[in-house]
Amino acid sequence: MKIELKGRKAIVTGSTAGIGRAIAEGLARAGASVVINGRGEQRVAAALQELRALLPKAEFTGVVADLSTAEGSAALVDKVKDADILVNNLGTAHLNGFFEQKDSEWLDLFQLNVMSGVRAARHYVPGMVQRGWGRVVFISSESGVAIPKEMIDYGMTKTAQLAVSRGLAELVGGTGVTVNAVLPGPTRSEILGNWMKATAGEQGITQEEAEQTFLKTMRPTTLINRFTTTEEVANMVIYVCSEQASGTSGAALRVDGGVIRSIP
Ligand code: NAD
């Protein structure tokens, strides 16, 4: 199977680093023109420079916008009018004490992890339906199914993405547009990589040892006994954005290393 996305325009939110950066690279390798997004001018410029050096023939555009706000989302759609592929990758997590956490922290995370994708889908999906082809992917998490007690708010946002993704797939059924969610497990992205590096530094162990401790204590059901790479997650996303994935919509696709212990 050869994935060919020449002539397709893709937007990947939160793509200057981590999983988003790997998805942007993978889509470009398959021939799509790709819009990179991040909050900071410098980070977007650096990601563009790096990707253009890596793939000189590929077409990349950068949009600086904080998509956790309605204004940031408006700035994105103002700069990029339409898209064939939308990957709602933007998302973050903080370790939180449920009993200490303020309302505003819950609402801010909901804005960032859920509303960023809702707003982008609301703008871009009607055009996809009109043209009779489109791919929308929400990057959820195994934490949307196996809610972590130290990040209940994060789990809530990741479950919400599954609901939005399935509902939207229902809404655009039969139009040539597919909508799916991808559920990564612990992945060596920028945020989790930095966390593991810091833990390793504090405890005088290697990053691999810190990751192993994390898996043993927090995700003991892993079947691969390691963190996934950002490329492994990206591979699933590139497939689900392909022509060949036309039979898959409304699905929650796992790249969680088997952490979730259920069959379907
Ligand atoms: P990351 O922090 O490594 O990268 C996030 C990217 O988003 C960065 O480029 C950052 O600059 C950008 N960004 C952050 N806030 C932004 C904002 N307000 N507006 C625009 N850009 C912004 O994150 P990651 O680990 O690669 O996570 C990507 C997605 O994968 C998230 O939705 C996350 O919940 C999900 N996920 C990650 C893991 C994991 O283990 N890393 C596991 C499951 C799901």
Show the 3-state SS of 154-219.
HHHHHHHHHHHHHHHHHHCCCCCEEEEEEEECCECCHHHHHHHHHHHHHHCCCHHHHHHHHHHHHC
Averaged over 211-230, what is the pLDDT?
Answer: 97
**Residue 264: what pLDDT?**
82
Residue 143's SS3 state is helix
Residue 233 CA to its chain's centroid (Å): 9
Count of C-beta atoms within a 10 Å radius of residue 49? 12
Q: The pTM is what? A: 0.98
Q: Which of 13, 19, 162 to mutate to test the pocket of ligand 1 (most atoms within 8 A of CB)?
A: 19
- Alpha-carbon span 152 to 106, nearest angstrom: 10
Q: Which amino acid is at 258?
A: G
- Alpha-carbon span 129 to 84, nearest angstrom: 10
124, 138, 154, 227: which is the annotated catalytic residue? 154
Count of C-beta atoms within a 10 Å radius of residue 7? 9
**Residue 155: what pLDDT?**
98
pLDDT at residue 96 greater than cutoff 90: no
Q: Distance from the CA of 9 to the center of ligand 1, in angstroms?
A: 21
Q: Is 239 annotated in the active site?
A: no
Q: Distance from the CA of 239 to the center of ligand 1, in angstroms?
A: 20
Averaged over 97-107, what is the pLDDT?
Answer: 97
Averaged over 30-48, what is the pLDDT?
Answer: 98
Options 3.40.50.720, 3.10.310.10, 3.50.50.60, 3.40.50.970; which CATH number does 9-185+229-255 get?
A: 3.40.50.720
Structure tokens at 21: 């950066």
**Residue 120: what pLDDT?**
98
**Residue 76: what pLDDT?**
98
Alpha helices per DSSP H over 15-69: 18-29, 41-54
